[in-house]
Amino acid sequence: MSEMSPQIDELVGHNRDFADAFDDADLQVEPTRRMAVVTCMDSRIDVFAVLGLQNGEAHTIRNAGGVITDDVIRSLCLSQRFLGTREIVLVHHTDCGLQKVDEPEFRRELAAELGIKPWWSLETFDDPYEDVRQSIRRLSMTPFIPHQDRISGFVYDVTDGRLHDVDPER
Question: Which of 35, 67, 72, 96: binder of Zn ion (CB under 5 A)?
Answer: 96
* CB of 28 or CB of 43, closer to Zn ion: 43
Alpha-carbon Rg for the chain, nearest whole angstrom, is 18
- Alpha helix positions (H), 40-170: 47-51, 70-81, 103-114, 128-140
What CA–CA distance (Å, rounded) separates 36 from 87?
Answer: 6
Cα separations (Å) of 102 from 84, 95, 97? 39, 15, 11
Size of the site for Zn ion (CB under 5 A): 3
* CB of 42 or CB of 123, closer to Zn ion: 42
Closest CA to 45 of 2, 105, 109, 97: 97
Binding window for Zn ion (CB under 5 A); candidates: 42-50, 52-60, 105-113, 133-141: 42-50
73 lines the binding site for Zn ion (CB under 5 A): no
Q: How far is the CB of 128 from Zn ion (least distance, A)?
A: 8
40 lines the binding site for Zn ion (CB under 5 A): yes
* DSSP state letter for 55: T
131 lines the binding site for Zn ion (CB under 5 A): no
* Residues binding Zn ion (CB under 5 A): 40, 42, 96
